[in-house]
Structure 1
Amino acid sequence: MSESSRDTAEGAGWGAAERGTYHELMPRKVDKVFWFNPKTLWAARNGVLASWLGDPTGRTRARWVEQQEAAGAPADKVIRRDDPDRFSFMVVGDTGEGDDPQYAVVPGFLRMSQETRFAVVASDVIYPVGATDDYGTKFFRPYQDYRAPIYAIPGNHDWYEDLHGFMRVFCDAEPPAPGSTSRTTLRARLRSLLWHRPKAPDRQHLFEARELRSAPAQRAAQPGPYWAIDAGPLRIVGIDTGLLGTLDAEQGRWLREVSRGPRPKILVTGSPLYVDGEHHPCPIEGGGTVDDVVRDPDHHYVAAIGGDIHNYQRYPVDVDGRTIQYVVSGGGGAFMHATHTIPRVSVANVTERDFRCYPLRGDSLAFYSGLYGRRLRLRRFFTLTEAEAAAVMARRLGTGPVRTSGASAARVTLRTRLVASLLGAGGRPDRPARFRLPVRTAYTRLFSPGSATYSPPFFKNFLRLDVTPDSVRLRCFAATGNLRQEVDPPVEDEVTIPLG
């Protein structure tokens, strides 16, 4: 088994490593997503409009679902498969930027997905706005050699064009008739005036793209943007949290109904319930939260996997004597969100000792210090080696070095402490940093997307889940873009979840 980032710096992808073969999979021309481009920001305005002027996605979603049911989709939205009691499936989140980081995930994903029965994309299938015309290079081409069905739940970016591309590809559905505009409020009329509307797709382009995944074994039909899959002994429940990370009342009623019964369940959501050391239970319109449903002992959830945040995190939370694994897995291809800004974990009785993340805090700090050094033209001051970053993060968190070799050799100096503080490095909550650049807040939303890199290491990840009648083995694999991790993807985290 290949060394992981917890073993050596080389296992993390640092050093003079040979680049992988993923470039051979990419189209000759790649349209990179530049998030600071005014045209891109304007096209992605619907999330801001929804937060300011009211969120219409619940009504839009209801029209999609009603149309699907009229076309023959099952009312309970359950996909009933014939998987055996022992099977495997893949989960990959926040995939579709269509550039180097996304394609760097593909070779390792294909290698580790052999003999799996299906895959699930957890949030944000297509960036920047979920356009139908982007599915060719950002979905069908990269996964053309995955010989099993792919299901998906939408993320907020898939909703920026009212889910048109997502529903065409995954549900073979055309847009429903617009809803009534009578008796609308002033806010609703203003929102409608400013709302980004989907452009008409190139149907020939979509037809040709579909041919890349047209084999009978690759075909999948899902009943709508939210669904449940009965596979072997397990039920996988996928929910659609729309633009603002909430559930409408109708979907909330469905979630409570489909969650009943003794069958073990895993939730897949676009809005993780535990992330960055905080609890985000996900409100349901009309009362209650998604986490209330997950925690209910009569529903038998064993895990909740969320996308949206572009890294890997795991929180083993004790709920009345049983452990539910709360996982973030959004590192499937988009720019990397920092992990070094996460403070020392202390939430729901989960401590830093129990918490797992990828990239490691030190690797995240080293990655961002290089970005700031290049952008601010202060490389000699800002740039930290991976060993320096690991050592200063261990000092700030009050832990020992995570990496088994190399981290303890670096000395923590005034410069490394100052750089870590400026870059928002998390630490003990009782010792907040006085000076820090806005990495965790504004720069997580603005600087990170604008600073995507196109050379390794990328610190991407994907999951493989191996199911038996008694347990689920969840493994997080790394994809760095280097050949070493491409040929033999390292396991960055592993946990066995009992199904009793």
Structure 2
Amino acid sequence: MSPTGPSRRSAANAGWDCRRLGEFRQLGPLPRRFSWLRPGALLASRNDWLARWFGDPTDEMRQEWLRRLAGLLDAVQPAPKVDLADRIVDRFAGRDRISIALLGDPGEGDASQYAVVPVLLAVAGDTDLAVVCSDVIYPAGGIRAYADRFYRPYADYPGPIYGVPGNHDWYDGLTGFMTTFCDVPPDAGAPLPGGRGARAALRRLLWRRPPTATVAEVADMRWYRDAESQLGVQPGPYCAIDAGPVRLVLIDTGISGRIDADQGAWLRRVSTSSPKPKILLTGKPIYSYASLQRCPIVDEAGVVIGDINEIVTDPACNYIAAIGGDDHNYQRYPIRLHDGRTILYVVSGGGGAYLSATHQIPNVDALAPACREESFRCYPLRGDSLAHFSRRYDRLLGFGSGRLVISPDDATTLMAERIGITPPRTGTPPEQISRRARRAARRVYPLPTRGAPAAHNLMSVFLDSDRPPMFKSFLRVDASSTEIVISCWAATGCLEHEREPVLEDRMRAWPDASGRWCWTSETPGRPVP
């Protein structure tokens, strides 16, 4: 299969000239478009607010899950082998080469999730395993929701799928995740938050109890993925996978984007116990929107005792990449460290959830000299993001009048002017952009597209789109002892891009004479994002 060039080559490659909707709708009956404006979705997600107001109990709940799992794992999973002491899956350890599909934030269960599936099967259907990285199920986990948001869409993916929980997966106490990925019986029941005092008592009173499912109902869901090659069980919400020449390290950052001291000690241990190059997979990105996002390690009292990035950047741990979900787009930052090493930090959250804007990513030269704008990439391109959101806001604020709509060519030029970069593809000459388009850009650009949960949730029904271009994406990782390639594939929702998928970005690494891994961009098209 010959891939289509990236969106920086033409607006058509971004999906703006879509001639026919893709065939993804034939994969099964799709529910109506997911919306955060439905009262049920907001109510089901209330544990997020309770954790922020009254304290996040996920650390103690996770520890209880692990205590339960220790007594169950030997009985439910004689194979593949799992090292219980360090939670290491060694099913793939003997491989000379490995290929991995990575999906971030997929679980809305509507057309925007299913649109990814045909491209995934076309370009990553031969991978050895897949990992869902963050927010497997929206809005709030739930065992029954896995039927149409996990088992059905990935029924034809032939390999095992592992998972990294996101904050939304914790809103049912992690029950659905533990049942699906760790083979915990569905009637086990989630641990309840503990604690003393009035605040803890009020949190327990208001805390959402997870929806239940019977063993028979779970068996019916698993019918979609019951081939022997598809079966895989992981030893907890955080674990390591010895994937041939690389080690994947999956961490659980709970609701608040942190890990406890026990998980921190485990992370340090599995990161130093093997000389293999490592890739961190996390529910929260470490670099996003041209900024370092802290992910603290805390003790039992909640006092910060470290940070995940301290482990990632430690030479003794040999990390070459850190990939996180949560922001629903694609961003890559090759960060050069003081000792001369480069670690690739990636946001990969485009697996199906509503789009997080990229046009509000500032000029990445703000990170210089660690990373510069010329080595940064994002999908959608900033101009395509501005054009996309201008249409959503025109519906909301302009009542469909067209006054706020900005064309992709105009938006390409306007964004390049705004943040001071060379346009990633040919746009409208500046002198030909109308006054109306410039006024629209001034109005649309500062409007909320991410950030505060309230704004995020309120706008999602308007900002999400089940029509092309959808700007979804996922990663394929191919690794051997001599090179590691990370490719970003786009899913626009267009039939032509199901048949000839868009290769949006590619990075390749190889070890130099000293053993350090060196990254280089192989993105087709122009060199500027």
What TM-score range do you get, normalising by the shorter chain?
over 0.9
Measured in 1, the distance between the counterparts of 2:341 and 2:409 equals 38
1:422 paired with 2:443, answer: yes
User: Residue type of the partner of 2:471?
Assistant: F
2:142 and 2:172 in contact (8 A); partners too: yes
Structure 1 position 350, deviation (Å): 1.4
Matched, 1:393 2:415: yes
How far is the alpha carbon of 1:445 from its aligned partner?
4.3
Change (3 A) 1:57 1:147: same
User: Partner of 2:490 in structure 1?
Assistant: 478
Instruction: Quickly say closer, same or farther: Cα 1:246–1:36, change in 2 above 3 A.
Output: same
Please say if 1:75 is aligned against 2:81: no
Question: By how many angstroms is 1:407 displaced?
Answer: 4.8
Pairwise CA distance, 1:176? 5.9
* AA of the residue aligned to 2:421: T
Q: Please, what TM-score do these two structures have when normalized by structure 1?
A: 0.94
Q: How far is 1:31 from its partner? A: 4.2
1:229 to 2:229 alignment: no
Give deviations 1:315-358, integer Å, cap 9, x for gaps. 10011201000000000001111000111122253122121100
- How far residue 411 of structure 1 moved from its aligned partner, in angstroms, is 2.9
CA distance in 2, matches of 1:399, 1:290: 32
Number of the residue aligned with 2:282: 269
Question: 2:345 and 2:251 mapped to 1: Cα distance?
Answer: 15
Superposition deviation, residue 412 in structure 1? 3.4
Matching of residues 350-499 of structure 1 within 5 Å: 350-376=371-397, 377-403=399-425, 405-408=426-429, 411-424=432-445, 436-442=446-452, 443-499=455-511
Judged with a 3 Å threshold, the aligned counterparts in structure 2 of structure 1 residues 180 and 398 are, in CA distance, closer, same or farther, namely: closer
**Mapped partners of 2:193, 2:121: distance in 1:** 46
Aligned residues: 486
Matched, 1:258 2:274: no
Is the 8 Å Cα contact of residues 135 and 206 (structure 1) preserved in structure 2? no
Aligned to 1:327: 346
Q: CA RMSD in A?
A: 1.8
C-alpha displacement at 1:467, in angstroms?
Answer: 0.5
Take 2:247 and 2:98, find their aligned partners in 1: how far apart are those partners? Answer: 13
- On the 8 A contact 1:123/1:155 being kept in 2, the answer is yes
What secondary structure, in the 3-state scheme, does the structure 2 residue paired with 1:88 have?
strand
Taking a change above 3 Å as real, the CA distance of residues 114 and 37 of structure 1, as seen in their structure-2 partners, is closer
**Deviation at 1:103?**
0.4
The equivalent residue for 1:429 is none
Q: Which whole-Å CA distance do the structure 2 matches of 1:454 and 1:271 have between them?
A: 25
- Which of 90, 102, 112 pairs up with 2:101? 90
What residue number does 2:367 align with? 347
**Cα distance, 1:423 vs. partner?**
2.2
Q: Which amino acid aligns with 1:494?
A: R
How much does 1:472 deviate? Answer: 0.8
Paired residue type of 2:447: L
Decide whether aligned partners of structure 1 residues 11 and 410 sit closer, same or farther in structure 2, where only a CA change above 3 A counts. Answer: farther
Helix, strand or coil at the partner of 1:225 = coil
Change (3 A) 1:192 1:407: same
Deviations 1:119-173 (A, max 9, x none): 0000001111111001111111110001000000110111000000010011111
304, 320, 324: which one pairs with 1:302? 320
Q: In the TM superposition, what is the alpha-carbon distance from 1:91 to its structure 2 partner?
A: 0.4
The answer to whether the 8 A contact 2:109-2:148 is kept is: yes
Residues 197-256 of structure 1: CA deviation (Å, up to 9, x unaligned): 112224433211101100000000100100000011110000001111110111111111
Tell me the secondary structure at the aligned position of residue 364 of structure 1. helix
Aligned match of 1:13 in 12, 15, 19?
A: 15
Report how far residue 437 of structure 1 moved: 2.4
* Corresponding residue of 2:136: 125
Show the 5 A alignment for 1:131-146: 131-146=142-157
Bigger mean CA deviation after superposition, 183-192 or 156-165 = 183-192
1:16 deviation in Å?
4.3
Q: What is the CA-CA distance between 1:478 and the residue it aligns to?
A: 0.3
Residue type of the alignment partner of 2:39:
P
Structure 2, unpaired ranges of 5+: 75-81, 300-304, 516-529
1:210 to 213, 217, 222: 222
Equivalent position of 1:427 in the other structure: none
User: Which residue matches 1:293?
Assistant: 311
Describe the shift of the 1:180–1:40 C-alpha distance in structure 2 as closer, same or farther (beyond 3 A): closer
CA separation in 1, counterparts of 2:282 and 2:482? 24
Distance 1:378 1:20 in 2: 26
1:148 to 137, 159, 163: 159
Q: 1:396 to 1:180 in 2, by over 3 A?
A: closer
Map of 1:195 onto structure 2 = 207
> Which range is displaced more, 412-421 or 331-340?
412-421
Q: What is the identity, as a one-letter code, of the residue corresponding to 1:276?
A: Y
2:345 aligned partner, one-letter code: Y
Q: Distance between the aligned counterparts of 1:139 and 1:59, measured in 2?
A: 27
Which residue, out of 334, 338, 347, partners 2:357? 338
Aligned partner letter, 2:344: Q
Query: Does the Cα contact within 8 Å between 1:26 and 1:103 map onto a contact in 2?
Result: no
Relative distance call for 1:321 and 1:211 in structure 2 (3 A) is same
1:367 CA drift (Å)? 0.4
Change beyond 3 A, Cα 1:305–1:30? same
3-state SS of paired residue (2:315): coil
Match of 1:4? 6
**1:428 matched to which residue of 2?**
none
Cα distance in 1 for partners of 2:255, 2:356 equals 19
Determine helix, strand or coil for the equivalent of 1:139: helix
Kindly tell me: are residues 337 and 148 of structure 1, through their superposed partners in 2, closer, same or farther at Cα, counting changes over 3 Å?
A: same
Structure-2 residue corresponding to 1:54: 55
Q: What secondary structure, in the 3-state scheme, does the structure 1 residue paired with 2:145 have?
A: helix
3-state secondary structure, aligned to 1:34: coil
8 Å Cα contact 2:404-2:444 kept in structure 1: no
The structural deviation recorded for 1:378 is: 4.8
Point out the more displaced range, 149-158 or 370-379: 370-379
Q: 1:489 Cα shift?
A: 1.2
Q: 1:372 to 1:198 in 2, by over 3 A?
A: same
Q: 1:218 to 1:39 in 2, by over 3 A?
A: same
Q: Do 2:336 and 2:343's aligned partners in 1 also have CA atoms closer than 8 Å?
A: yes
- 1:398-419 per-residue CA deviation (whole Å, 9 max, x = no partner) reads 122102x455488334333332
- C-alpha contact 1:8 1:406 (8 A) present in aligned 2: no
Paired with 1:70 and 1:299, the residues of 2 have a C-alpha distance of 31
